[in-house]
Amino acid sequence: MEHIKNMGSAQTDVGTLIASIFYLMSRYANSQDKELILAIHKHLNLLEQHPDMQSETVKITCRRLRNDWLNLLKKIPLH
């Protein structure tokens, strides 16, 4: 029954989200591309809200990191 309920939704697993966040952060370190900040923010939100994410510590860390990345975005001058 659970399989049928989830057939229409492709849920990315937690490990893939974490790997993606690490990749995006390393790309940002090399490029300073502000579009990557938005992608990092989105992926941190996806990880925090993921139904398989049970760790409150990780959820709190994701929330804090999202705020840190948004604050960084605010400091970048518009060109």
8-20 per-position pLDDT tens digit: 346 889 999 999 9
Structural domain containing residue 63: 13-75
23 domain residue, yes or no: yes
Q: What is the tally of structural domains in the chain? A: 1
Name the token pair of 76: 């970048």
48 domain residue, yes or no: yes
33 domain residue, yes or no: yes
Torsion of CA 38, 55, 60, 64, to 10 degrees: -40
Residue with tokens 């959820």: 59
Residues 6+ apart with CB under 8 A from 58: 47, 48
Per-residue pLDDT band for 33 (boundaries 50, 70, 90) equals very high
pTM: 0.82
5 domain residue, yes or no: no
2 domain residue, yes or no: no
Give the residue from 17, 11, 28, 27 showing the smallest Cα distance to 62. Answer: 17
